[in-house]
Structure formats: C-alpha cells, structure tokens
Amino acid sequence: MRSVADGARRARDPWPERDVLVIALGLVAGLRSAEMRTLTADSLAGRPGEMRLHIHGKGSRDRSIPVEPIMARIIEAYLESCAQRFPRKRFGRSTKLLLDRNGEPIGRGGLEYLVKSCYRWAGLHDRVPVGANLHALRHTFATRLAEDGATATEIMRLLGHASLATSQNYIEATGREQRAAAASNRTYRSLDQLIGPPADEQLPVD
C-alpha cells in the first residue's frame, strides 16, 4: 500500500489517488471487480464512526460494509484528483466512482490491469496467480477476518457469499496454516531428538 501511495506504479499517466482507493477497497471491503465498478459517491454514507459502504452485490445480494473514517478521506482525495484531471466534467452523486484516464467509468480489463501493475511495482507480481489480481485482495480481506476471529457467518455477510460453506473454507484454511506454522517451531525437532519416537513406532528388537 505504501508503494502505491508513493506513486511507485510507473504508469504512463500516474494516478496514485485512484490506485490507493482501488487497493483499499479490495483490502478493507473485499469487493469484487463488478462491485467496485458499480460504486458511486453515494455508496459511502453515514456519520464518522458509523460509516458504511453500500454494495450492489453478485446475484442482487446487496450488502453494506462498515468502514472507518479513513476510507472517506481516501475517497475525498480521489475525488479532488478527479476534479483536477477533468475540470469540465460534472461529478454527481450518482456518477460512477472509479474512472479511467479519459474520465469514463473504468472497465473490467482496465481495473485488472491497474491492480496487476500495482503488484508489479510493489514486487509482488510473482506471488499472485495469473488472472486473480483483484480476487487476491478479496482473499486477503477474508483471510485476515478469519485470522482475527471473525465467524463464518460474519465473513459470509461481509463478502456477500451465497453459501456459508464458502466462508467456512477461510476459517478452516487459517486453522491449518496456524497449525503448520506452530508445527514448524524448531523446538519440536529438538524434542523429537531428545525423547525419540513413540513406543509403537520404534523398531522391534531381535
């Protein structure tokens, strides 16, 4: 995120305010590509401390996601950059939020390319599966929720999943990763050498 904010993405026409907004929407709201592209200035509403991002979700499953005041500041900075870039364009509350370099609503391919470029300039492109650039942000959002103790039901509601089983996968994966991380503790190897294998695993003595 820091590299994006500092303008590390060496695009032909750098736009760090938009890049930060896109990455933030993925990491703190877990939005799908289509959901990002339907956002308007009206999508964020509420008083400081009670703000929510209203999402038109997949399969008409609309939802609202609680966000912190920093998101309002990120959106405000982005809108100010839009006004500077497109001084003749009128921005209404229903205008699509994310725009391309021509001031038109950004397309699916343009959004994917934007995120892919951010990964590349941050040195992370080799860690993300091909074609999963934006979904990787959504996956990180869900995984962090699970790591911080969110229930499957809470994850389902925040991500707009149709099935609780899909959300449960994040919790199960996090549990496996935590066990694997704990098992990699080098002390276990020392204990194995000290104590030896269980009696039923020891070779019989002739």
3-state SS, residue 67: coil
Residue 55, φ and ψ in degrees, nearest 5: -115, 135
Instruction: Specify the length of the chain in residues.
Output: 206
The answer to whether the beta carbons of residues 155 and 138 sit under 8 Å apart is no
- Which DSSP helix (H) or strand (E) runs through 79? helix 69-85
| Active-site pick, 9, 18, 116, 138 | 138
- 138 is known as an active-site residue: yes
| Active-site pick, 58, 73, 176, 189 | 58
Distance between CA atoms of 154 and 146, rounded to whole angstroms?
9
| Active-site pick, 2, 63, 135, 144 | 135
| Active-site pick, 9, 18, 116, 161 | 161
Distance between CA atoms of 22 and 31, rounded to whole angstroms?
9
Cβ neighbors of 45 (< 8 A, separation 6 or more) are 51, 52, 54
CA dihedral for 197, 201, 205, 206, sign (positive or negative): negative
- 135 is known as an active-site residue: yes
Q: For residue 182, give both structure tokens.
A: 């704990």
- 125 is known as an active-site residue: no
By annotation, the residues acting in catalysis are: 32, 58, 135, 138, 161, 170
